[in-house]
Amino acid sequence: MSEELGMTVKKSEKFMDWYYEVLQKAEVVDIRFKAKGFDVYLPTAMRTIREMERLFAEELDAKGHLPVMFPIIIPESNLKTEEEHIKGFAREVFWITHAGANKLEEKFALRPTSETAMYPMYSLWLRSHLQLPMKFYQSGRVWRYETKMTRPLLRPREFRWFETHCAFKTDVDVIKQIEQDMDIFKKIVNDSFCIPFLMIKRTQWDKFPGAEDTYAFETVMPDGKVLQIGTTHDLGQKFAKVFDVKYLDEDGKKKYVYQTCYGPGITRMLGAIVCIHGDDKGLIIPPAIAPVQVVIVPIYTGNTKTEVMKKAGELLGSLAEKDFRVDLDYREQYTPGFKFHEWELKGVPVRIEIGPKDIEKGVVTIVRRDFRERIQVPEEKLEEHLLEVMDSISAQLLKRANERMKIEDAKDLKELKEDLKKGGFVRIEFCGEEKCAEKFKDDTGAEVRGTLFGNETKAKGKCAICGKKAKEVAYVGEGY
């Protein structure tokens, strides 16, 4: 693979060549399934996703969300109940019209998202204020008929996500929930996936169909483009009113709930992990979610084999007992060099090499995936060194990713265009007008993505795009 790709290449074309190559060689995704935008997830992807989803499920459970599973189909009449919602999704929905040789009485949508599947049930379930807050989540797939060019993991027609759907008494609870959604993202995506993000409050013309407000979690890719990897929506009472989700309050009155929904995108985050952490040797999977954190490669000649394999087996057993996800590559048909290459390609964070000389000295050799630095450590201190190296890799991955999140400030159109060339976010003062943003997008391809959540600064001067009086400080970037 090309040198240092995934770290320094900023030009989209070359970067995408690297991306497709690593997806195939590291057994992440196969794009040859005979339907555009529908990909086959290979073992490296599925095992990593299992760890990613375990972290989300544990965290959502801990925060009082309860797991449910809704059907993947939505009857047409449900989907059409909320007017803005169906308007927003109409062009993106796959329709099931027949079963066997029969035409269905009512056609079904393959769910593009689950509000209209779930809230009619919420209306049946919710009776009393004692049931609030009501917080359910599900993990699964959704389908959107993407009309732009599809891309594996980044813009497919079928993708995996979590979706949580909460109901509350007040709009104060809504904001608290949105803050908690952000905290979950920080804990998992930032700390465990080593992916930094900004939380952007979307413009009014670019929010989730049917929402009062949409907040997007966005990161910056190695080619400088911005990728949305999750969203959380303030639904207000809009859906509650059309789906009749109300409760009997303490004062004896029936009231509509306030709702939020939150959608961490597992498929897109896996794509971000591949792109942001990978390098010229292949994937680098963050230790917290690596399906194999440590691989042991035995190095022997004919007459040292028994001794080396015995020691390798001992190390495997003792590390597994200490809850490392560890594997031993005992395959006889391959050389150590071949094995090093393969495990580097698949992004295993740490490799242990063990040979007769190591055994003699009572040491093992550990090699970290990111810098490929090689150190010898005393066998009895192996565990603490592995933990240290894994922590150091996580910190290093996050640091490198953070370097792309630097935000430039632009005063006028010329500066804005110059800064956008460097990639990532550019902060400007903005008039707040849809027309201004649309014209800018048509000219440059870059979008006014919104304002920063929780830290909205007042604008004092002029809009960097049109020069009119500015209303807010906004973030601009070219999207995926």
Return the exposure string of 144-180: e unless at least 16 CB atoms fall within 10 Å of the residue's CB, then b. bebeeebbbbbbbbbbbbbbbbbbbbeeebbbebbeb
CB atoms within 10 A of CB 371: 10
**117 lies in the binding site for its own copies (CB under 8 A):** yes
Candidates 5, 6, 19, 120; binder of its own copies (CB under 8 A) is 120
**113 lies in the binding site for its own copies (CB under 8 A):** no
Q: What is the DSSP letter of 147?
A: -
Cα separation of 380 and 152, whole Å?
44
Closer residue to its own copies (CB): 50 or 357: 50
Closer residue to its own copies (CB): 47 or 368: 47
Q: How many residues bind its own copies (CB under 8 A)?
A: 53
Cα separation of 342 and 332, whole Å?
15
Tokens standing for residue 369? 């995936």
Dihedral sign computed on CA atoms, order 48, 215, 477, 426: negative
Candidates 50, 322, 361, 414; binder of its own copies (CB under 8 A) is 50
- The interface mask with its own copies, positions 157-196, x = CB under 8 A, is -x--------------------------------------
Residue 184 CA: distances (Å) to CA of 57, 59, 254, 299, 332: 11, 7, 32, 43, 44
**Minimum distance from residue 67 beta carbon to its own copies (Å):** 4
**Minimum distance from residue 296 beta carbon to its own copies (Å):** 18
Quick one: which segment of 27-35, 229-237, 345-353, 407-415 binds its own copies (CB under 8 A)? 27-35
Among residue numbers 73 through 112, which ones bind its own copies (CB under 8 A)? 73, 75, 77-78, 90-101, 108, 110
Candidates 14, 20, 87, 124; binder of its own copies (CB under 8 A) is 124
Residue 24 β-bridge partners = none
Quick one: which segment of 5-13, 70-78, 194-202, 293-301 binds its own copies (CB under 8 A)? 70-78
Closer residue to its own copies (CB): 75 or 356: 75
Closer residue to its own copies (CB): 139 or 203: 139
Tokens standing for residue 395? 């910190």
Dihedral sign computed on CA atoms, order 20, 26, 29, 31: positive
Tell me if residue 228 falls in helix, strand or coil. strand
Cα separation of 391 and 291, whole Å?
16
**Minimum distance from residue 442 beta carbon to its own copies (Å):** 23
Cα separation of 204 and 474, whole Å?
13
Residue 298 β-bridge partners = 354
Please name the residue that has the structure tokens 């990639």.
Answer: 423
143's enclosing H/E stretch is strand 134-143
**64 lies in the binding site for its own copies (CB under 8 A):** no
Per the CB < 8 A criterion, the answer to whether 375 and 392 are in contact is no
Among residue numbers 276 through 335, which ones bind its own copies (CB under 8 A)? 333
Residue 408 β-bridge partners = 426
Per the CB < 8 A criterion, the answer to whether 14 and 26 are in contact is no
**Minimum distance from residue 134 beta carbon to its own copies (Å):** 12
Nearest to 341 by CA among 384, 297, 378, 381: 297
**45 lies in the binding site for its own copies (CB under 8 A):** yes
Candidates 10, 12, 16, 30; binder of its own copies (CB under 8 A) is 30
Among residue numbers 334 through 373, which ones bind its own copies (CB under 8 A)? none
Closer residue to its own copies (CB): 145 or 300: 145
**Minimum distance from residue 138 beta carbon to its own copies (Å):** 8
Tell me if residue 450 falls in helix, strand or coil. strand
Quick one: which segment of 37-45, 163-171, 349-357, 456-464 binds its own copies (CB under 8 A)? 37-45
Binding site for its own copies (CB under 8 A): 30, 32-35, 38-43, 45-47, 50, 57, 66-73, 75, 77-78, 90-101, 108, 110, 117, 120-121, 124-125, 130, 136, 141, 145, 147, 158, 333
